[in-house]
Structure 1
Amino acid sequence: MLSGALIYVSVQHSQEISTTLSKDIVTNYAEELSVKIEKVTSPLSTLLNTLAMGQFTARDVGMPDPLWLSAMTEILEKNQYLDSMYFGKEDGSAFLFQPLHDLKIKQSLSAPVDARLMVRYYILGAQRIQFYDADMKLMKEDNIISDYDPRERIWYSDVKNNDKIYMTGPYNFSNPAQDGITFSRKTRTGDAIIGVDLTLNKLTKLVQYFEFSTNSNIFLLNTESQIMGSNQLFSLMMGKDLFTAKDLGFDQLVKEFEAENSVAQSAKTVVWQGKTWELMISPLTLADNSMLRVVNFVSHDDLFEASSSLRNDLIIISIISVIISFIIVLYIARRIASPLTYLTDSIENIQRFRFQRKCYQASHIQEIDKLNEAMGLMENVLLDFFNNLRNVARTSRPEELSESIVMQVKEILSADDCQLFTNTPDSRDVFTLSAKSGVTSDFNLQCLYNHNPEAFTESIYELTVNEARHIFTDMSCHSGFIIPLFNRNNDNTGALLIGFNLDITDDTRNRLRFVREFIGFNEIVLEHLEKVEAQRNLFHSFVEMTATAVDVKSPYTGGHCQRVPKITKMLAKAATLDTDKFADFSLTSKSWEELLVAAWLHDCGKVTTPDYVMDKATKLETIYDRIHEIRMRYEVLKRDAEVVYWQSIAEGMNEAQAQQSCDSLKQELDEEFAFIASCNPGCEFLDPEKQQRLAEIGERTWLRTLPDDIGVSQQEAAKKRHVSKTLPIIEKILADKPEHLFIWEEKKQLQANSKRDFKMVQPEYRYNRGELHNLMIKSGTLTPEERYNINDHIVQTYLMLDQLPYPDHLKNVPLIAGSHHEKMNGQGYPLQLKGEEIPIGGRMIAVADVFEALTACDRPYKAAKTLSHSLKIMAFMVKDEHLDGHVFDLFLTQGVYQEYADEFLKVEQLDFVDVDALRAVYKDGLLKTN
């Protein structure tokens, strides 16, 4: 506003000055124009009057006088606007002389180049032309015939009065041809007329003499408003006539001006051709009976140029002054307002939740200093609070939250040390240190509880001097507070002990209320984390219970599900320490939990596997070993042999022959059963010859006289409905009966409840308990159906684990647990994963699972293998791309196998292990995978 006011005053003042100056300029110029006109008209009138009163016309026209010509030439040259001068007499003779300045005129007159003066003598019927040089010496003379008679010219004929000067209108001069006007006067004697010529070009030069500036428009008008001359570059003639004021559109302005102004020096502001002008009209009296008018259009821009420059200077000075003042004021204002700006930024940061720790900015205003300091403290407190919220939101462990609490409280209160003590639900009166912020020794909070338990019921308790002396054992702190912690049941769950080296300030006491609220929020979180920890412990206990249940289910595999996690943990720990192949391998606390949960549950699907299948020690074993049924049949056949013996004797057969026949049959029966019994354990490979003999033995028959569909279960009775019930019936000694076949229930179909694409081929029947079918097993004790049921425990593991709602850090537990039977070459089961498709945790569990199974000494179907033999088998499994070579190599080179063997294997299993020899087995394959 100040700047605008200053500039407005400057502009108004400059406009007033400009108006005053313009009026003075117009007045001065009008006076100057009058003087200029006088300078032009006075010499012309004086010249004509002088010549008329002298003896100029008395000279002999035919006798030129060089001295006289030189004098006349000087007179004409000094009157620069005159073109020529002459006189004419009553007898028709005339005399004319004309200075030669223009080269074009000389050329048009055929004058010598150095000619200075041309003189013409007119005598009736003749004309003599002479050219003189600067010294008035005759250079050239021509005589020509001429009909020129001055008495017939308007400059001669129009002169009536002897005392007046007359001016002709514009006309065309004869020689040289050009337009102009003539001023003439009678001589004193009245016998001659004297005249001088002014060309329109000379009049134009005369007009330019009167111009105010190059932008002004000046016109010389005669009484008929014809334009005799102008400073503007345009032809004055329009055809044979001169341009008039009307043609240029200012005739009405001239009339209005002359009607309003009688004083020559006056001026009038007019608008012409779209611009504003100052119009001035001054008379130019060159003859007694005629008057020319000088019409001067002076542009306002030219008039106000000086005043405008002054105005602009005033505006510029004002603006510069205002800018300098503004800079000074701005600098001072910024110095004063900088803390306010800082404060505004702090408030905006708080609004946007962008908190920062900043130092206070000092101000020259005490109140701003106090406000700024209070705002800074508030921002720091909010920063501490939201940092704690952020840490709480990210933590999942009570110890991490405890550390965050003590650090935040120490920062908020500027304490020297802060320690958090907690108790457990089982013993609320026993406090243990959970976290501390300083390096001092542990505070003795238990002492305070033992002597003053009431302090732990208050919101905030300030320690007395004596209490501080006993609690701060090393005297590092001299004063302090305790803030008890409570859960939603109002049970004391701990206490926060805050220590200070110096006396507690009022500012610290003021912030204690915020800390109490701050701790109140963390109490809820601590309680929640305590419950989460309890739930986590419950989950892990349930996982271990599930694994233990699998082990307890079978006394022969007891401990397998507990030992595999131990080996897996040893392997994973070795991998985290490895700087070669496992340099990028690392496990967080959550990753450890995921891996170990998967290891504990890797065989949880075995709860669905029948015990007799999982622990099947002989080929005919189901719930019991059916070799006893076959034995009983052979016992029946042997009894039948004795019956035949007695029948044969009764029928008259020779006793010795009958006895020999009976003994031979019994021996044959004994040998057959002995062979069948030898095939039942499955310890040896059953070659085709033995299979052929079993088939042949199986063709032997025996007689059953009792029904086999009574006293049995409904399911078994249903299978025997279509069997012939006619007794007695002959049956084969080794039977594969329809009732031995168990079809798949719909819910047991492989893909029925699966979320995964299992690649296992399901056999036609769930079980095939045919006696000959089982005895025909080439190796081991399991039929293909039972082998599938054994392998199906992995499918069941997937089905069981996929149903659980996992947190994000455990979502891979099913895949890790279920992939320990996959092979690196992709020929494993149940998903046929290959190479890196198998998670690293699954590959570690696979090594642990195989090693534990080979070295276990509690399997009924095999003897425990030595350490070296087990590792050799596993080395060939690596070579065959069944196990991960890098994991097994780590298992060997880091001594994980030895660590486990020392704790769990029997002494007789421990033997020398040649690690280099074992690595040589799979070295080539390992190099290919690098």
Structure 2
Amino acid sequence: MSRPSFRLQHLIVAAGFLILALAGLFTTGMYFMRSDKTITEARNSIFTPTMGEAHARLDLLFTPADTTLQLVTIHSEKPYFLKTDATTIPTSLTKTLDSARFITSIYTGYDDGQYFMILRSNKQDDLHKMAPDDTAYILHTVTIEEHDYKRLLRFFDKDLNLIKTSDISDRAPVFDPRERPWYGTATQDDALHVTMPYRFASSGEFGISLSRRLQNLDGVAGADINLESLIGALATLKPTPEASIALIDATGNILACSDAKGLARRSEQHPLSCGPLSKATADELVMAGKTAPQSPRFRRIVTDDGAWVAGGESLPELGANGVSMVLAVPEDALVAGLRTTRNDTLLLLAGGFILLLPALFYGAHLVTSPLQCVAREAERGRKFDFTAGESTHSVVTEINDLALSVDHMQHTIRKFMQLAKSVSRIRDFDRLVPLLTQEMQQATATQAVLLYMPDKDHTLHLWSGCGIGGECLGHDESEALPPTTVVPQGKIPIRTGGLPPEDACHRHISTLLNGTDAQHQHWFAAVTLRDKRDAVLGELLVIDQVPFSQERLAFLRATSGVVEVALDNDRMVKTQKELFSAFIRLLAQAIDAKSPYTGGHCTRVPILSRLLAEAASDTRQGAYASFGMTNESWEELYLASWLHDCGKVTTPEFVVDKATKLETIHNRIHEIRTRFEVIKRDAHIAYWKGVSEEGDRAALQKTLQDELRTLDDDFAFVAACNTGEAPVDDAARQRLRNIAERTWERTLDDTLGISWAERERKEPDHPLPPVMEKLLCDSSAFVVKPDAVSQETEDRWGFDMPRPEVLYDRGELHNLSIPWGTLTSEERYKINEHIIQTIMMLSELPFPAHLENVPEIAGGHHERMDGTGYPRRIKGELLHPLARIMAVADIFEALTAPDRPYKKAKTLSQAMNIMVGMAKSGHIDRELLCIFIREEVYRAYAENHLPEWQRDAVDAEALLRDLG
């Protein structure tokens, strides 16, 4: 499974994003790490001054009331205004009510149930609604006189004048001070006591009561403080608008709260709540106060509205019932500054990311774009595409170095491949060597490159040189390798150094550089070129104006390997070609040497074929105007022309060399002559027998002479027919048949001393001697049947040559009756069969692709333009052009060959006239013969290969006119 990969541009952007995210996480982490400390510091900075101010504020609130209560508690008797006829009230109490506006009433309750209260009129509750308009103060008294319950309301104006008195004794409920919450707790000690908030019976308002026990009487003095006033006072102490301040007692009950909504939520059955503060939270703070009474108590409160920090501190100013003040502040408010800093930082990071994102993309593009170019170049290199690509530049030095290295690598590989490709396309050694030096000079970018190669004596001579200006030097056997640059064989693969001024290379450098800088100091690098067998191929001398670095030497070693391979391969191919060519020439020369009747035919046809091919490729008119020869074509023509008669190695020598009709392994005319001699002797014997028998000597003599004359005449005729020089017509054939009817007596067994094959050919009823036999015989013993296997093989090749029924027919009468020449139809087929063997033999050879036409070319020189040739009867337009060229060359050589024992050579004019006739009859290519005549190819050939007597004048214009 392949590992996942990511684009570098995305990784860079992701890295930038990750850095910013980590910075954000770090900021957030630092926020949370410092939040506790910040909360503690903020709590201390808020709670301490707030509590201090609360103490001072509560002193201002409660001290006047407590002072008044202390004054009231020291009275030793009940006040006078408890009497039902009292018409005044003490000014000290009204002044307290006027100065301390948060005190709504001052009162005293006694253990006998009596009670008085002085309160300000506010015109809001039912009690105050009974007061006259000018009422400023109300005195509410409850007295018991002689078991008579009396509840009175006295209304005073601001000057303390009694305005009105109302008896409300009959109003329910009955008011008993001893049942009020402020009374019971205060009777226990002399301390100041504070009640839970409750609804005042006198006014119906919510508030708290401060109470103290009377010192000299059994009763309790108290003062009511309006809860709204207390809440208003507490609200001014809030450090933040969201904070809540509450007063709680020792049991955790909330006495007052800065949250005004607490009034609306409170009822008699439900305790007062204060923002985030609940009874449970208050209880926790009370318990904390009990464990550490001298230290502030803090708790973290989590509500639906968020997290809060609550702190409580005892208020000894409010008496002994453990009243404490609690301050609850939202955590957000405590860490607002830190949160603001955090938010600002995160906002800055977010803004920075938004602004940095394009910069990251742009920066990533600056980094990755060159890398992508380098990657594309590397990918092109992986695909072996080393053509010049896009240039790469980056602001990053390392990327520039990488791009430069990749570019140099591709450039080096490109030069290396160009060198290898260039040298691999050249097959001609004479073109290869100059190309090697030229390509090496361009690949190494040096001043000059010289190549020295060994001769037959293994002495290194200059073969080629090439300079930076394009100047080149050719093969010069007089210039040996300078001793200063010679690399010891088998010692050092490459040697470098400076060229001394007197070095012979300076003359070469001057030639190659057109004299420019030739006298300056030059440096050389000499590389010994070796083949696979470590034999020296040559010396490569590279010359430049600067010393060779290790990098250049490494490249030189690599490229010199290409030169070594090219030279070694070329030498190997050249050697193999030379060896192959030598074998071909050896075969052709062996065929020529095998029989004097072929003479030097196989050697001379290649010469004629090349001359005609050159003329055809140079012509610019006619059907061959576009004809041209390539190196491959020349090689095909060379091989085909030398091998065109290679099939003759299979043609029996007695057929090729058959100079007379009766000749086989020997000339059987001698047998026939002997038979004639036998018959003549028989005639002499008959004569002398007749003489001995006393016959007419003169008549016998005449008969003998006539018989001998006839026999001599008949033998002369048979001998003339045997030479093949004159045609044999029907009359001649009839005379031969007549002569054949003569008989002679064979007295010896002709089956003795013969081979089993010849014995097999004898007729089964062959007569035993003595027997009379015909003078000329066509017996079955002279017939050789063909091999069925060879016939099937030829049939598979698609040859279209009429095949005779028998392989050989050596019948004497049959051979003497040959109309023209000396060959029977069977022997003529055997002669022509050489072209079949040529095609079959050459087709079995593994010719390379560029030589695959050799069998077709070599095997087509006996085809005719009219399609009646052999062996395949191919028409002229389907014949390979080189086969047509060889057909012309083959015929001309056969006509003019001076070394054929069976015929006399033709002169140039005779041969050309015959060939014009052959062209007109559709035998050879008319256009090629025109070129042959017009370019005087015949004359160029004759000058070097024909004797002077054959080189007569040729009327070329007349021949061309005749050809049309």
Asked if 1:554 corresponds to 2:598, the answer is no
Residue 531 of structure 1: how far off its partner (Å): 1.8
Q: Alignment partner for residue 873 of structure 1, among 888, 911, 914?
A: 914
Q: Alignment partner for residue 345 of structure 1, among 370, 376, 380?
A: 376
SS in 1 for 2:834: helix
Q: Equivalents in 1 of 2:761, 2:647: separation in Å? A: 29
1:277-331 deviation per Cα after TM superposition (whole angstroms, max 9, x unaligned)? xxxxxxxxxxxxxxxxxxxxxxxxxxxxxxxxxxxxxxxxxx9999999888877
Q: Equivalents in 2 of 1:625, 1:646: separation in Å? A: 33
Letter in 1 for 2:832: N
Match of 2:403 in 1: 372
SS in 1 for 2:744: strand
Q: Does the 8 A contact of 1:615 with 1:860 survive in 2?
A: no
Q: Equivalents in 1 of 2:699, 2:479: separation in Å? A: 104
Q: Equivalents in 1 of 2:700, 2:870: separation in Å? A: 60
Match of 1:775 in 2: 816
Letter in 1 for 2:756: Q
Q: Equivalents in 2 of 1:737, 1:493: separation in Å? A: 70
Residue 920 of structure 1: how far off its partner (Å): 2.9
Q: Equivalents in 2 of 1:677, 1:408: separation in Å? A: 74
Q: Equivalents in 2 of 1:670, 1:913: separation in Å? A: 46
Q: Alignment partner for residue 681 of structure 2, among 624, 636, 639?
A: 639
1:311-365 deviation per Cα after TM superposition (whole angstroms, max 9, x unaligned)? xxxxxxxx99999998888777766765444433322222222113358555444
Match of 1:686 in 2: 728
1:635-663 deviation per Cα after TM superposition (whole angstroms, max 9, x unaligned)? 11111111111110111202112111111
Residue 869 of structure 1: how far off its partner (Å): 1.4
Asked if 1:511 corresponds to 2:552, the answer is yes
Asked if 1:917 corresponds to 2:953, the answer is no
Q: Which of structures 1 and 2 has the bigger CA Rg? A: 2
Q: Does the 8 A contact of 2:888 with 2:924 survive in 1?
A: yes
Letter in 2 for 1:433: W
1:875-926 deviation per Cα after TM superposition (whole angstroms, max 9, x unaligned)? 1111111111111111111111111122222222222212232223332xxx
Q: Does the 8 A contact of 1:556 with 1:858 survive in 2?
A: yes
Match of 1:225 in 2: none
Residue 422 of structure 1: how far off its partner (Å): 2.2
Residue 766 of structure 1: how far off its partner (Å): 0.7
SS in 2 for 1:463: strand
Equivalences for 1:422-821 in 2 at 5 Å? 422-423=453-454, 426-434=456-464, 436=466, 438-439=470-471, 441=473, 446-449=480-483, 452=486, 454=488, 457-466=491-500, 469-476=503-510, 478-500=522-544, 502-504=545-547, 506=549, 509-580=550-621, 581-720=623-762, 722-749=764-791, 751-752=792-793, 755-821=796-862
Q: Equivalents in 1 of 2:473, 2:645: separation in Å? A: 49
Q: Equivalents in 1 of 2:714, 2:354: separation in Å? A: 125
Letter in 2 for 1:504: P
Cα distance 1:544–1:515, how it changes in 2: closer, same or farther (>3 A)? same
Letter in 2 for 1:354: D
Q: Equivalents in 2 of 1:440, 1:601: separation in Å? A: 39
Residue 673 of structure 1: how far off its partner (Å): 0.8
> Normalising to structure 2: TM-score of the pair?
0.59
Cα distance 1:704–1:529, how it changes in 2: closer, same or farther (>3 A)? same
Residue 393 of structure 1: how far off its partner (Å): 4.6
Letter in 1 for 2:591: V
Q: List runs of 5+ in structure 2 lacking aligned partners.
A: 1-12, 25-349, 511-517
Q: List runs of 5+ in structure 1 lacking aligned partners.
A: 10-318, 924-930
SS in 1 for 2:384: coil
Q: Does the 8 A contact of 1:399 with 1:434 survive in 2?
A: no
Q: Alignment partner for residue 386 of structure 1, among 417, 421, 429?
A: 417
Q: Does the 8 A contact of 1:798 with 1:815 survive in 2?
A: yes
Identity between Structure 1 and Structure 2 (%) = 38
Q: Equivalents in 2 of 1:781, 1:404: separation in Å? A: 59
Dislocated runs of 4+, deviation >6 Å: 1-6, 319-333, 442-445
Aligned positions, number? 609
Cα distance 1:407–1:375, how it changes in 2: closer, same or farther (>3 A)? farther
SS in 1 for 2:458: strand
SS in 2 for 1:726: coil
Q: Equivalents in 2 of 1:552, 1:516: separation in Å? A: 52
Match of 1:19 in 2: none
Q: Alignment partner for residue 449 of structure 2, among 403, 418, 426?
A: 418
1:13-46 deviation per Cα after TM superposition (whole angstroms, max 9, x unaligned)? xxxxxxxxxxxxxxxxxxxxxxxxxxxxxxxxxx
Letter in 2 for 1:782: L
Q: Does the 8 A contact of 1:706 with 1:728 survive in 2?
A: yes
Q: Equivalents in 2 of 1:563, 1:385: separation in Å? A: 46
Stretch deviating more after TM superposition (376-385 or 409-418): 409-418
Q: Equivalents in 2 of 1:572, 1:354: separation in Å? A: 42
Stretch deviating more after TM superposition (509-518 or 829-838): 509-518
Letter in 2 for 1:831: R
Letter in 1 for 2:535: D
SS in 1 for 2:459: strand
Cα distance 1:505–1:485, how it changes in 2: closer, same or farther (>3 A)? closer
Q: Equivalents in 2 of 1:416, 1:618: separation in Å? A: 75
Letter in 2 for 1:554: S
Cα distance 1:333–1:744, how it changes in 2: closer, same or farther (>3 A)? same
Q: CA RMSD in A?
A: 3.1
Residue 377 of structure 1: how far off its partner (Å): 1.3
Cα distance 1:718–1:468, how it changes in 2: closer, same or farther (>3 A)? farther
SS in 1 for 2:482: helix
Q: Does the 8 A contact of 1:876 with 1:921 survive in 2?
A: no
Q: Does the 8 A contact of 1:619 with 1:681 survive in 2?
A: yes
SS in 1 for 2:374: helix
Q: Equivalents in 2 of 1:630, 1:467: separation in Å? A: 92
SS in 1 for 2:670: helix
Asked if 1:409 corresponds to 2:450, the answer is no
